[in-house]
Chains A and B, each alone.
Chain A
């Protein structure tokens, strides 16, 4: 009977929000590819794409259109079901993660109903993100394994081991943050930061570790070993063509977007506007939501730029360097960070 009590407006509101967020993620991912090429160009003293439309802003559409018209090839020796499942899984997991992120300050209507700008404010929000991200490894693993190619297989193994090793320090860095908030709820993590200041001030080391691990989780340079172009011929998506390849590439950029959003939520105060108390402005509810959303997006864009900036600066790690950095450097540092946080909090409580 409980299901019957759900209001139609509630369903409509959530459906709209989901559609909006998915559309936004796809749009941002599309233009991140453009930004990537532009920034790459500028950093290499070139102009980047500037032929398709003014300043080349139609370039992502041209790229997408091209991918759609490419021939769809499924290798004979591959496992066909898994071969199709791989990119689908990568795409779905990339999109689902966005469900628990609070995108803006809650919207309060004139009647006083609060509409949270978040699809689901579940109690263990950040854990949900982590569990979905670890399912995301299967996209790479299944894709690499089912295409029955030795390069893809090596890439899949690399990807899996890299993801597993870097989830550990990531989780440890996150634990220190959770000590301070005392809650796994994303909305609570943001509201404690609005009250007490951003976590990056209290947790600079934790933030750096989390950021490095986020790079590794997104398979971005310098951790792009699963798709190492020059040693593995694009790794796990070597056998893919047409839109299945497009899904993999797209999922990578959506992952970048979502992980930036998560980093902003965890360490940079989410949609909080720094240095001011926006609640005292007395703005209409719509503008409050809109401004907080823009601030949130600005922070995300900053992170996306840093992601791209790093990619066009440093070369790829060697596999042993990757493992050394993960297990011998980041995990001890993250453990240390966690213990110090716990000790300081214990001292302050007394």
Chain B
């Protein structure tokens, strides 16, 4: 039985004299390489040009805020539980009176860390989050000289404030596709 029609019977007859000086086949091979010589190159010149990422690319995490700039995260820990690489650690704290403009609900994450060396960028934290507080963006974690440089604190992960830093917020937000809307 044949799976594809591309298989060829191997010719095992001994080489003729002309074949055994390889010249013709070498010329054919050189034809292939010269065609590639003039082809368009596929390399993306990295620091000058960035690769195009698809809209569902799972890159660096972002901690979300609502329209008034309050943090969505309630430190429920579901993301940390869902994380297969155990990259997320957090400490919860209670919102004090007068902090209503900072945190959306009465519990918040005082400390929120993701170890980017452990993270496998699977996006399960995003799926687990009931508050739309964490999502994966279209950038990747840049290189660093030290291990501790890869442990991203809450300040590193938080999205810019939508009112105080409007432009930066729009820029960060624009890359996001609302996958959850579909279902």
A residues sitting closer than 8 Å to B (CB atoms) are 39, 41-47, 50, 208, 309-310, 312-314, 324-325, 329-330, 333
Tell me, in angstroms, the Cα distance from A43 to B33 when the chains sit together. 6
Tell me, in angstroms, the Cα distance from A312 to B29 when the chains sit together. 10
Give B6-34 interface residues, CB cut-off 8 Å to A. 17, 20-23, 26, 29-30, 32-34
A324 → chain B closest CB, angstroms: 8
Q: Which of B26, B29, B30, B41 contacts A45 (CB 8 A)?
A: B41
7 residue pairs A–B, Cβ–Cβ below 8 Å = A41-B41, A42-B41, A46-B42, A47-B41, A312-B33, A313-B30, A325-B21
Known contacts being A47-B45, A208-B23, is A313 close to B37, with CB within 8 Å? no
B36 and A42 within 8 A (CB): yes
Chain A minimum-CB-distance residue to B17: A329
A118 → chain B closest CB, angstroms: 33
Residues of B within 8 Å of A314, CB to CB, are 26, 29
Chain B minimum-CB-distance residue to A321: B22
Q: A46-B41, A46-B43, A310-B30 are in contact. List 8 more A-B contacts (CB 8 A).
A: A42-B36, A42-B41, A43-B34, A50-B45, A208-B23, A309-B33, A325-B21, A329-B20
Q: Which of A47, A50, A313 contacts B33 (CB 8 A)?
A: A313
Tell me, in angstroms, the Cα distance from A330 to B37 when the chains sit together. 30
Residues of A within 8 Å of B20, CB to CB, are 324-325, 329
Tell me, in angstroms, the Cα distance from A329 to B20 when the chains sit together. 8
Residues of B within 8 Å of A309, CB to CB, are 30, 33-34
A44 and B30 within 8 A (CB): no
Tell me, in angstroms, the Cα distance from A314 to B28 when the chains sit together. 10
B4 → chain A closest CB, angstroms: 26
Question: With an 8 A cutoff between CB atoms, is B39 at the interface?
Answer: yes
Chain A minimum-CB-distance residue to B35: A43
A264 → chain B closest CB, angstroms: 20
Known contacts being A45-B42, A46-B43, A329-B20, is A39 close to B29, with CB within 8 Å? no
Q: What are the interface flags for B29-67 relative to A under an 8 Å C-beta threshold, 1 for contact and 0 otherwise?
A: 110111011110111010000000000000000000000
B37 and A43 within 8 A (CB): yes
Known contacts being A313-B26, A329-B20, is A45 close to B39, with CB within 8 Å? yes
Chain B minimum-CB-distance residue to A328: B20
Chain A minimum-CB-distance residue to B38: A42
A40 → chain B closest CB, angstroms: 10
Tell me, in angstroms, the Cα distance from A310 to B37 when the chains sit together. 13
B residues sitting closer than 8 Å to A (CB atoms) are 17, 20-23, 26, 29-30, 32-34, 36-39, 41-43, 45
Tell me, in angstroms, the Cα distance from A46 to B23 when the chains sit together. 27
Chain B minimum-CB-distance residue to A317: B22
Chain A minimum-CB-distance residue to B39: A45
B16 → chain A closest CB, angstroms: 12
Known contacts being A310-B30, A313-B29, is A42 close to B21, with CB within 8 Å? no
A47 and B37 within 8 A (CB): no
Closest 5 pairs between A and B when the two form their complex, measured CB to CB: A313-B33, A43-B33, A313-B29, A42-B37, A313-B30
A160 → chain B closest CB, angstroms: 24
Tell me, in angstroms, the Cα distance from A310 to B45 when the chains sit together. 28
Tell me, in angstroms, the Cα distance from A218 to B45 when the chains sit together. 35
B151 → chain A closest CB, angstroms: 31
Tell me, in angstroms, the Cα distance from A314 to B27 when the chains sit together. 10
Residues of B within 8 Å of A312, CB to CB, are 33
Tell me, in angstroms, the Cα distance from A329 to B15 when the chains sit together. 13
Tell me, in angstroms, the Cα distance from A314 to B34 when the chains sit together. 13
B29 and A44 within 8 A (CB): no
A45 and B36 within 8 A (CB): yes
Tell me, in angstroms, the Cα distance from A129 to B78 when the chains sit together. 79
A39 and B41 within 8 A (CB): no
Residues of B within 8 Å of A47, CB to CB, are 41, 43, 45
Chain A minimum-CB-distance residue to B28: A313
Tell me, in angstroms, the Cα distance from A330 to B23 when the chains sit together. 12
Residues of B within 8 Å of A42, CB to CB, are 36-38, 41
Tell me, in angstroms, the Cα distance from A45 to B35 when the chains sit together. 10
A44 and B34 within 8 A (CB): no
A313 and B21 within 8 A (CB): no
A143 → chain B closest CB, angstroms: 30
A250 → chain B closest CB, angstroms: 25
Q: Chain B CB within 10 Å — which of A50, A325, A329 has the most?
A: A329
Chain A minimum-CB-distance residue to B27: A313
Q: Chain A CB within 10 Å — which of B23, B29, B30 has the most?
A: B30
Chain B minimum-CB-distance residue to A325: B21
A39 and B21 within 8 A (CB): no
Residues of A within 8 Å of B26, CB to CB, are 310, 313-314
Chain B minimum-CB-distance residue to A46: B43
Residues of A within 8 Å of B17, CB to CB, are 329
Tell me, in angstroms, the Cα distance from A314 to B22 when the chains sit together. 11
